[in-house]
Structure 1
Amino acid sequence: MAGGDVVMRRSRKVRAARAGDDVGRDLEERGGWWTSPSTGSVAVATTAVRRLAWALLICSPLLGGWAIVSRPASDSSPAAVVRPSDGGTTGPGGFAEMYVAEFLRAGEGSEGELAAFYARAADLELGGRPDATQVGQIAAVRVAEIEPGRYWSVTVAARVLEPASKDGEQAGIRMRFFQVPIEADREGGPLAALALPAEVAAPGGGARKAKLAYGAPLSAQASDPAVDTVSRFFGAYLSGSGDLGRYVSPGTRLSAVRPAPYQSVTVTQLSAETAFQDSDGDGRIGAPSGQEQLRLVVDVKAARPDGIARPLSYALTLSGRDGRWEVAALDSTPQIVLPDLPAAAASPSLSPTR
C-alpha cells in the first residue's frame, strides 16, 4: 500500500505540473506573466492588476474632467480667490470678466456658481435655461480705481449670441456693456463683487484725443535708404527672408516671428517725426549724417501664403551708423502729442530691447 500511495502522489504532482504548464501557455498567449508552474495564480493576479491600472490610466482624464464639471460651487473656487496684480488693474479687470461671463450664462439652478463671485447671488431665484446666452469675446474696457488697492469700478464689454425672443426678435450676436463694483477685503486680498452687474451704454470717448507726433505720410520710395532698411527688416521679421541681425543696431535683441506667417512684405508708406521731415520736399528721408535716431510709423502690406494681403502698422526707431540706417527698437506704441500739451511733452518712446 505504501508503494501505491507513493505512485498516486507522484501522478498527482505530474498532473498539477502539466496543468500549470497549460496555464502558463495560456497566460503567455494573453500577455500575462509566467514564472514557474507553482506561481500560476500569482501571474493571473498580476495580469488583472495590470489591466486595471491601464483602465484607470485611460479613464483618468475623463474622471478628472467629471470632477471639475461636477464640483459644487463654493467660496473656495478659483474665481473667488483672484487677487489684484501688482499692476493694480489686471486682477480686478480679469475678475470682472469672469464674473460677467458667469452672469450672462447663468440660469435656473446656477445660483451657486454665480455666488462664487457675488455672495448674495446664492439667494437669487434665476429663471431660464443655463447657457441660453452664449458668451463669445469678453474684455474689461475700463477699470477705474476708486480706492487704491481696495475698490474698483470695472466696465466689461461682452459679445454674446442671444436666442430669439418671444416678441419676434431674431437670434443674433450683440455687443453689451456691464459695470461692476469690485473690492478687496484688504490691499492685495482676494476679490469679490459688491453687487450684480449693471448693464450700461457703450462708454463714450472724451473730447481730448491724442495725435500721432509724425508728419504727413510719405510714399515708400525704393531709392530712400530708410525705406530700404525698413523693407529688408520687415521681410526678415515677418516672412523669414534674410538675416534679421543684419538690419538691427548692435546690442538690440529682436527675434523674427516664427513660424513666418507671411510670404512677402511690402512697405506702402511711412511717417517720420516732424523734426526729420525732408526740407527739400522730395518725399525722401535720406541717409543719416551721423548717429542720430529717427522714429517712424510704418505701414506694410503682408501677403499670406494663400495670396491674401493684410495691412499692418508698426512704430519703430532707426539709428544712424556708418552712413546707413539700422533698426534700434520695435516700439510698443507710436509717439503722441496731446492737444493741451506742447510737442516737447510728447510721451517718451520705448527704449530699445537689450
Structure 2
Amino acid sequence: MKRARRQARREQQNWPVDSVAEASEPARAEQGDADVEQFAGWKTSTAGLAGLTRLARLGTWALIASGPLIGVMALFGSSAPAQSAPKATRAVRSSASTGPAGFAQLFVGAYLEAGEGTEKNLAPYYSGSVSLTHPAGMRSALRTQAMDAREISPGYWSVTVAVNVAAKSKKGGYTDAGVQYFRVAVQSSGSDDTSAYTAVSLPAQVAAPAALKPGALGYPTSRGTGSSDPASDTAASFLKAYVAGQGELDRYTSPGVHLFPVVPPPYTSIKLTSVQDNSKNDASTKVPGDGVRRRLLVSIDATDADGNTFPLTYALGLTARAGRWEVSSLDDAPATAATSRPPSSAPNSQATFAPSVPSTPGGSAPSFGS
C-alpha cells in the first residue's frame, strides 16, 4: 500500500518534467528541422551559385570559341536586307540606241565592201536572200557615223549612217566619193544578259540632212585683229601659252582659275585674225574697274613646226582686275544671242529619216527575222 502510494507520488512528481520534455520535444524537433532546413538551404544556395559560376565559365569559353562563326554570320547577315525593308525592284532595261546604231554602222560597212561571191559576209547582219553582180571591193567605208537612231516601235529602230566612201577607179586606185547616207531598219531583242540585232532589209541610200543655219552669236562687236584692245592682247598671250607653249597660263588667268595647256604644244606660233566681243562699239581701250566681265570670240591662225597654218576659234571669258584683263574661263562653246534661235525644223532634216514601218495586224512590230 505504502509502495503504491510512493509510486503514485513519484509519477506525480515526474509528470511536469516528462510533460515538459514531451512538450519541448516537438519544439526541439521543429527547431532542429528549421536548423536543418536553414543549413540545407544555405548548402543549396552555395551549390546553386557554384553551378551558375560553372555555367557562366562554360558560356564564356563557348562564346570565345564561336567568335569566328558569329563574325561570319554577322557579315552575311549585315548584307541581307532588313525584314522591314522593301524588296529591291528589278532594273528596267533602257532602250538605248547605242547597240542598234553600232550594229547599223557595221552592216553598212560590210554592205559597201561586199560583192559577187562575198554575199555571205552579210549573213551576220541580214538573213534574207542577197545576189550581188558587181565585183567585191568596189567601194569601201573609210569612216562611218550614226547620225540618227530612233525607236519607231518597241524593239524596232531606224538608224541613219553617214559614210565617207572610197570608190575604186578603173585604174585600180581609190578616190574619195564623199559622204553618203544610208538608212537601216534594225530589230533588236534583248534580255538582262544578252542582246541580239538583225536588219529587216538591205540598206537604203538616202539624201543628206538639210544644213541648219545657226542662230546669231552673242558677240555683236568686231574688233578686227584687236591691236589696240587690252582684252585682245590678254587673249593673244593666253592662247600663245595654251597651244604654242610660250609662257605660263597663270600669268594670264584670274586667281582660282586652273587651266592646263595643250601638251606637247602642237604649234610654234599664233596670230590673231579676228576678235569679237559683247561690249559696246564705243568701249574704251582703258581697262575698267575690278569685276567687270567681257566675252571674246577669238579666231587665230596657228602655225606648226613644218610651217603649216591652221585656223582655230576660241570663246573666252575675261574679268578686269587691278588694271588689267585676265582670262576667267575657256568656254565650252561660243555664246549665242538671247533673241536668236535656230529653226526648229528644216526640209530633209533628221525628222524625215524614220521609214514607214511594216506592221502586223493590230499595229504591233513585225516579228524578228531568223
Q: Which residue, out of 265, 271, 289, partners 2:270?
A: 265
Correspondences of 1:45-194 after superposition (within 5 Å): 88=96, 91-116=99-124, 118-121=125-128, 123-140=129-146, 142-147=147-152, 150-164=155-169, 172-175=175-178, 176-186=180-190, 189-194=195-200
SS in 2 for 1:220: coil
Q: Aligned in 2, Cα 1:86/1:251: closer, same or farther, shift over 3 Å?
A: farther
Offset at residue 230 of structure 1 (A): 0.7
Structure 1 letter corresponding to 2:282? S
Offset at residue 162 of structure 1 (A): 1.7
> Is the 2:107–2:122 Cα contact (8 Å) retained in structure 1?
yes
Instruction: Give identity over the alignment, percent.
Output: 35
> Is the 1:303–1:310 Cα contact (8 Å) retained in structure 2?
yes
Separation (CA, whole Å) in 1 of partners of 2:130 and 2:210: 32
- Report the TM-score when normalising by structure 2: 0.57
> Is the 1:177–1:199 Cα contact (8 Å) retained in structure 2?
yes
Offset at residue 339 of structure 1 (A): 6.6
Q: Which residue of 1 aligns with 2:209?
A: 203
1:329 aligns with 2:333: no
Q: Aligned in 2, Cα 1:129/1:228: closer, same or farther, shift over 3 Å?
A: same
Deviations 1:158-213 (A, max 9, x none): 22222347xx9x9742122211233432599555433321001222235x642222
Q: Which residue of 2 aligns with 1:299?
A: 299
Separation (CA, whole Å) in 1 of partners of 2:338 and 2:161: 26
Offset at residue 89 of structure 1 (A): 5.1
Deviations 1:10-58 (A, max 9, x none): xxxxxxxxxxxxxxxxxxxxxxxxxxxxxxxxxxxxxxxxxxxxxxxxx
Structure 2 letter corresponding to 1:195? S
- Report the TM-score when normalising by structure 1: 0.59
Q: Aligned in 2, Cα 1:340/1:245: closer, same or farther, shift over 3 Å?
A: closer
> Is the 2:109–2:140 Cα contact (8 Å) retained in structure 1?
no
Separation (CA, whole Å) in 1 of partners of 2:211 and 2:191: 31
- Root mean square deviation of aligned Cα: 3.4
Structure 1 letter corresponding to 2:167? E
Q: Aligned in 2, Cα 1:94/1:230: closer, same or farther, shift over 3 Å?
A: farther
Gapped regions of structure 2 (runs ≥ 5): 1-92, 343-370
Structure 2 letter corresponding to 1:277? K
Separation (CA, whole Å) in 2 of partners of 1:191 and 1:249: 52
Q: Aligned in 2, Cα 1:327/1:92: closer, same or farther, shift over 3 Å?
A: farther
Q: Which residue of 1 aligns with 2:72?
A: none
Number of paired residues?
246
Structure number with greater Rg is 2
Separation (CA, whole Å) in 2 of partners of 1:298 and 1:172: 36
Q: Aligned in 2, Cα 1:296/1:115: closer, same or farther, shift over 3 Å?
A: farther
Structure 1 letter corresponding to 2:255? P
Correspondences of 1:237-316 after superposition (within 5 Å): 237-273=242-278, 276-280=279-283, 284=285, 286-316=286-316
Separation (CA, whole Å) in 2 of partners of 1:86 and 1:106: 33
Q: Aligned in 2, Cα 1:86/1:334: closer, same or farther, shift over 3 Å?
A: farther
SS in 2 for 1:99: helix
Q: Aligned in 2, Cα 1:316/1:221: closer, same or farther, shift over 3 Å?
A: closer
Q: Aligned in 2, Cα 1:132/1:327: closer, same or farther, shift over 3 Å?
A: same
Separation (CA, whole Å) in 2 of partners of 1:269 and 1:150: 50
- Highest relative contact order (Cα 8 Å, sep 6+), 1 or 2? 2
Separation (CA, whole Å) in 2 of partners of 1:309 and 1:248: 26
Offset at residue 235 of structure 1 (A): 0.5
Deviations 1:63-89 (A, max 9, x none): xxxxxxxxxxxxxxxxxxxxxx99955
Structure 1 letter corresponding to 2:201? A
Offset at residue 304 of structure 1 (A): 1.5
Q: Aligned in 2, Cα 1:315/1:105: closer, same or farther, shift over 3 Å?
A: same
Q: Which residue of 2 aligns with 1:320?
A: 320
> Is the 1:218–1:271 Cα contact (8 Å) retained in structure 2?
yes
Structure 1 letter corresponding to 2:306? D
> Is the 2:214–2:341 Cα contact (8 Å) retained in structure 1?
no
